[in-house]
């Protein structure tokens, strides 16, 4: 039975919810107020209002209060017989229905300082072996209390904490570290701790076993019902729920059916089966409606989980309440991070500082879209995101939080970069083409001008050719003329030769000696009779001065008559001289000197005819 509601206490609970995100409104008032009062009394504070003032001035008090309110009592193998039953009767059957090597997912909700989670790890190691445990089993261990969680993460316990652990398990799974004992680090890896508020946060899903012991009992009936629905959702259709000794679950047979009521071990009831609702205190119509709503909720959650883009949701207290599978994988979040203040997580500042945008969205209640947020990965690689901040409001326009979506636009970014790059290359190529074009045009012009020059040269050559042809023709005709002249000359030469031969034979046949001299008195002709007379041959006399001849003729006596003849003073002179012939005999030589006619004004030479007078 709930005690009467004290408004000032409710105000204090509301204050705790708003200021620290701890919602105790669903807790049983009796034990809750008893514990708060005990804390107040230690400071001599009498009213909840004063205690609220005290909390405002002393923020450290929150931790002490929560330590008092959240009862962290726990132990290894707490209620040993129930654990034995689970280990020997329930789990072997449960695992037998699962495909070989399929993952086994377990949740210890309200795990306090970890003893329950490590108990689970030990019995799983016994049942499956270490190897299978490492490969298949994940034990999620959550609590609302961060202090308890940090103890749990250390996995360090005192010897007396291990009293309920069988001796063989102690030696197998614990090692001494100083005055403490540490849980086997190899098995420890199968346990994942994280903060999770059963009243506010989305449950971990697809579970085979859910251990939620001695936690539900602090919640009031209505809150228990709400939490049980979540636990129901969290389990696989054949999943098992293990509660604490004090938790009976009598009124929730529509969700869970006992496997062993004494040990508080239940199997999930599939809601579609109408018989499972026989114990419900709701009408059939309400049942259907709640089923449909549950289905819708599940579909919604599954759809959110399977979104291809990363999405996270932050509530008004700055707590990360949702992160879909893509977001968890992308940003290294795990389900244990749900329920943690955003500021404690790396995602709050990488790849971009989220908090200022969250503040802006909260203030302005308008969507913000940031394009091309770069995220550097290890090595040289990076990713680009379009990040969208969307305010979440309910139907009454109450602000509930902010949804942040990261759409991976790396491909488009890369594509854009590629396009820009290709564009730049095209521009360069274009410029190169233009310059090549210009060069080609220049070359073309040069070729044209060379062509024109060649044409001109050709024309010149043609005209030279024509000229040469003309000259050739002229030469040919000259040649022909020359040939004619030559023929004529040859004929004349023949005639002359004949005349010469005639004259020569005439000279030779003459019995008179004939000597012809020119105007310089050089001998031109000297015939055979002259040779016979004077003993000098023609070739010895030719060209020599007549007056210089050393012959039997007294040439000196002939000087004057010859000169007179040459001057034209006397036409023909005859004289007789004493001379000696070629044999040295004295002879009388008769001479006639006649002019050799030729020049118009003077004689060309003189002709001397001579004979021995007998």
Ligand X SMILES: C[S@@+](CC[C@H](N)C(=O)[O-])C[C@H]1O[C@@H](n2cnc3c(N)ncnc32)[C@H](O)[C@@H]1O
Does residue number 164 form part of the binding site for ligand X (CB under 6 A)?
Answer: no
392 touches 403 (CB < 8 A): yes
What is the DSSP pairing of strand 191-195 with strand 137-143? parallel
Distances (CA, A) of 78 to 75, 94, 164, 243, 263: 5, 22, 8, 11, 12
Residue 402, phi then psi, degrees to nearest 5 = -130, 130
> 138 to 157, contacts with ligand X by CB under 6 A?
143-145, 148
Supply the minimum distance, in Å, between the C-beta of residue 279 and ligand X: 26
Of 113 and 311, nearer to ligand X (C-beta) is 113
**Backbone conformation region of residue 264, classed left if phi is above 0, alpha if psi is from -120 to 50, else beta:** left
Q: Collapsing DSSP states into helix, strand and coil, what is residue 483?
A: helix
Q: Which residues contact 463 (CB under 8 A, 6 or more apart)?
A: none
CB 65 within 8 A of CB 139: no
Which CB, 68 or 257, lies closer to ligand X? 68
Q: Which is nearer to ligand X, 18 or 557 (CB)?
A: 18
On whether the CB atoms of residues 407 and 375 are closer than 8 A, the answer is no
243 touches ligand X (CB under 6 A): no
**Cβ proximity to ligand X, 192 vs 373, nearer residue:** 192
Nearest of 330, 332, 402, 327 to residue 363 by alpha carbon: 402
d(CA 296, CA 276): 19
Tell me whether strands 586-596 and 382-393 are parallel, antiparallel or unpaired: unpaired
Q: Is 110 in the site for ligand X (CB under 6 A)?
A: yes
Closest approach of Cβ 216 to ligand X, in Å?
9
Could you tell me which residues come within 8 angstroms of residue 79 by beta carbon, excluding any fewer than 6 positions away? 244, 245, 263
- Which one, 204 or 523, has the nearer CB to ligand X? 204
The strand pair at 104-109 and 207-212 is best described as parallel
Q: Which residue lies nearer to ligand X by CB, 196 or 268?
A: 196
Q: Report the nearest approach of ligand X to the CB of residue 264 (Å).
A: 11
Do 187 and 86 touch, CB atoms closer than 8 A? no
Binder among 32, 55, 94, 112 for ligand X (CB under 6 A):
112
Whose Cβ is closer to ligand X: residue 81's or residue 597's? 81
- Write the DSSP string, 144-203: S-HHHHHHHHHTEE-GGGGTTS-HHHHHHHEEEETTEEEE-HHHHTTEEEEE--TTTSPP
CB neighbours of residue 563 within 10 Å: 14
- For ligand X, the binding residue among 9, 116, 120, 330 (CB under 6 A) is 116
Pick between residue 256 and residue 507 the one whose CB is nearest to ligand X.
256
Q: Which of residues 69-98 bind ligand X (CB under 6 A)?
A: 70-74, 78
At closest approach, how far in Å is the CB of 404 from ligand X? 24
Min CB(237)–ligand X separation in Å:
25
Tell me the closest approach of the beta carbon of residue 222 to ligand X, in angstroms.
Answer: 14
∠ Cα 552 553 556 (to 5°): 125
* 244 belongs to the binding site for ligand X (CB under 6 A): yes
**Nearest Cα to Cα of residue 30 among 316, 283, 275, 221:** 221
Q: Would you count residue 338 as binding ligand X (CB under 6 A)?
A: no
Give the residue, chosen from 28, 35, 213, 268, that forms a contact with ligand X under the rule CB under 6 A.
Answer: 213
Which residues make Cβ contacts (< 8 Å) with residue 493, sequence separation at least 6? none
Q: Please, which residue, 55 or 141, has the CB nearer to ligand X?
A: 141
- Residue 120 or 515 having the CB closest to ligand X: 120
Binding residues for ligand X, how many (CB under 6 A)? Answer: 23
Among 56-64, 66-74, 230-238, 424-432, the segment contacting ligand X (CB under 6 A): 66-74
Q: Which residue lies nearer to ligand X by CB, 74 or 326?
A: 74
Other CB atoms within 10 A of residue 542 CB: 12
CB 323 within 8 A of CB 337: yes
CB of 214 to ligand X, least distance (A): 4
The binding track of 293-332 with respect to ligand X, each residue x by CB under 6 A or -, is ----------------------------------------
User: Of the candidates 214, 383, 525, 603, which one interacts with ligand X according to CB under 6 A?
Assistant: 214
Among residues 83 and 526, whose Cβ is nearest to ligand X? Answer: 83
Q: Which stretch binds ligand X (CB under 6 A): 137-145, 296-304, 388-396, 404-412?
A: 137-145
CB of 340 to ligand X, least distance (A): 13
Within residues 191-210, the interface with ligand X by CB under 6 A covers: 196-199
Interface contacts to ligand X, rule CB under 6 A: 70-74, 78, 110-112, 116, 143-145, 148, 196-199, 213-215, 218, 244
């Amino acid at each position: 039975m709930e005690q009467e509601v004290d408004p000032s206490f409710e105000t204090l609970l509301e204050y705790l919810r708003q200021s620290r995100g701890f919602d105790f409104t669903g807790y049983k008032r009796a034990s809750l107020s008893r514990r708060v009062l005990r804390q107040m009394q230690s400071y001599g504070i009498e009213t909840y209002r004063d205690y609220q003032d005290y909390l405002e001035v002393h923020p450290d008090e929150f931790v002490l209060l929560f330590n008092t309110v959240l009862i962290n009592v726990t132990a290894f193998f707490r209620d040993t017989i129930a654990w034995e039953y689970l280990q020997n009767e329930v789990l072997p059957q449960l695992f037998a229905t699962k495909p070989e090597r399929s993952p086994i997912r377990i949740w210890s909700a309200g795990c306090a300082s970890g003893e329950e989670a490590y108990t689970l790890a030990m019995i799983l190691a016994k049942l499956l072996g270490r190897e299978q445990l490492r490969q298949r089993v994940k034990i999620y261990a959550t609590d609302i209390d961060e202090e308890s969680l940090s103890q749990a993460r250390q996995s360090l316990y005192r010897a007396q904490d291990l009293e309920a652990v069988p001796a063989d398990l102690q030696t197998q799974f614990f090692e001494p570290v100083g005055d403490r004992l540490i849980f086997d680090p190899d098995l420890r890896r199968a346990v994942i701790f994280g903060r999770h508020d059963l009243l506010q946060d989305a449950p971990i899903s697809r579970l085979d076993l859910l251990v939620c012991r001695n936690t539900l009992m602090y919640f009031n009936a209505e809150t228990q019902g709400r939490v049980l629905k979540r636990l129901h959702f969290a389990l696989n259709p054949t999943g098992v729920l293990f509660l604490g000794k004090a938790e009976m679950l009598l009124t929730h047979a529509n969700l869970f059916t006992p496997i062993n009521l004494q040990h508080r071990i239940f199997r999930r009831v599939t809601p579609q089966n109408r018989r499972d609702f026989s114990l419900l205190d709701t009408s059939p119509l309400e049942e259907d409606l709640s089923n449909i709503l549950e289905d819708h909720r599940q579909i919604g959650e599954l759809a959110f989980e399977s979104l291809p883009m990363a999405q996270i949701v932050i509530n008004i207290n700055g707590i990360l309440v949702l992160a879909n599978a893509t977001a968890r994988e992308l940003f290294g979040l795990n389900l244990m991070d749900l329920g943690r203040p955003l500021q404690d997580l790396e995602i709050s500042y990488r790849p971009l500082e989220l908090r200022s945008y969250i503040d802006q969205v909260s203030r302005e209640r308008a969507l913000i879209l940031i394009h091309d947020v770069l995220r550097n990965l290890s090595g040289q690689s990076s990713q680009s995101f379009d990040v969208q901040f969307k305010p979440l409001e309910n139907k009454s326009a109450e602000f509930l939080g902010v949804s942040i979506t990261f759409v991976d636009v790396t491909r488009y970014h890369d594509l854009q970069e590629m396009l820009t790059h290709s564009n730049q290359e095209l521009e360069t190529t274009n410029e190169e083409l233009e310059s090549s074009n210009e060069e080609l045009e220049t070359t073309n012009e040069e070729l044209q001008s060379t062509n024109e020059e060649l044409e001109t040269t050709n024309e010149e050559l043609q005209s030279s050719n024509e000229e040469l042809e003309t000259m050739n023709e002229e030469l040919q005709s000259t040649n022909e003329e020359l040939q004619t002249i030559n023929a004529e000359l040859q004929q004349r030469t023949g005639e002359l030769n004949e005349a010469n031969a005639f004259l020569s034979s005439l000279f030779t046949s003459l019995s008179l000696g004939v000597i012809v001299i020119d105007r310089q008195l050089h001998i031109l002709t000297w015939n055979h009779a002259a040779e016979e007379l004077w003993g000098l041959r023609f070739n010895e006399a030719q060209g020599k001065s007549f007056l210089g001849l050393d012959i039997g003729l007294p040439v000196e006596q002939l000087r004057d008559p010859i000169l007179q003849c040459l001057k034209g003073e006397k036409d023909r002179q005859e004289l007789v001289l004493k001379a000696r012939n070629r044999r040295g005999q004295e002879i009388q030589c008769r001479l006639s000197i006649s002019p050799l006619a030729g020049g118009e004004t003077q004689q060309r030479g003189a002709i001397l005819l001579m004979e021995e007078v007998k």
